[in-house]
Structure 1
């Protein structure tokens, strides 16, 4: 159980960091929000993959690519909702 949680944290951090690098502009959301961004992005990526393949699996995590795509989507939505992203 402990290593599963550590795995999700590391996975979320890497996926969130890559998503932050792909979305243009400055993001100062911190490491905790980056981890949450990656973990939520993984779930969103899994949902999108399930919808595209016709086999909705529920809240299953996606692989690396699906997680990064999901994290980019979550980051863009987060920036639009909070208005945090400046055009710098």
Structure 2
């Protein structure tokens, strides 16, 4: 998968992760989409390291699930950090 395919995957995974998570998350859509790209990186790294998952195919359900799971993890961590700073 090329750079632009990965970028698109991360942006869409971030949007889906924001829809999945309940409540209002800190940050707007731009932050969420950027965190989605970071989450797709994290999901891809964990998927290849833990499950030896091939991530070359853009239309693979495995690639999408790993990217969305990584985005959810990153959004939860970001929300915890922002919430702690407000307290």
Q: Do the two structures share a fold, i.e. TM-score over 0.5?
A: yes
Runs of 4+ more than 3 Å apart: 3-7
Give the Å deviation of 1:31: 2.6
Give the Å deviation of 1:28: 5.0
Aligned length: 76
| TM-score, normalisation: structure 1 | 0.68
| TM-score, normalisation: structure 2 | 0.69
Matched-pair contact (CA < 8 Å) for 1:43–1:67: yes
Aligned to 2:31: 33
Aligned to 1:52: 50
Matched-pair contact (CA < 8 Å) for 1:45–1:71: yes
Unaligned ranges ≥5, structure 2: 53-61
Answer yes or no: is 1:64 the counterpart of 2:64: yes
RMSD of aligned Cα (Å) = 2.8
CA change 1:50–1:4 in 2 (3 A) is closer
Task: Please give the secondary structure, in 1, of the residue aligned with 2:48.
Answer: helix
Unaligned ranges ≥5, structure 1: 56-61
Task: Please give the secondary structure, in 1, of the residue aligned with 2:25.
Answer: coil
Give the Å deviation of 1:20: 0.8
CA change 1:4–1:51 in 2 (3 A) is closer
Q: Distance in 2 between matches of 1:48 and 1:4?
A: 19
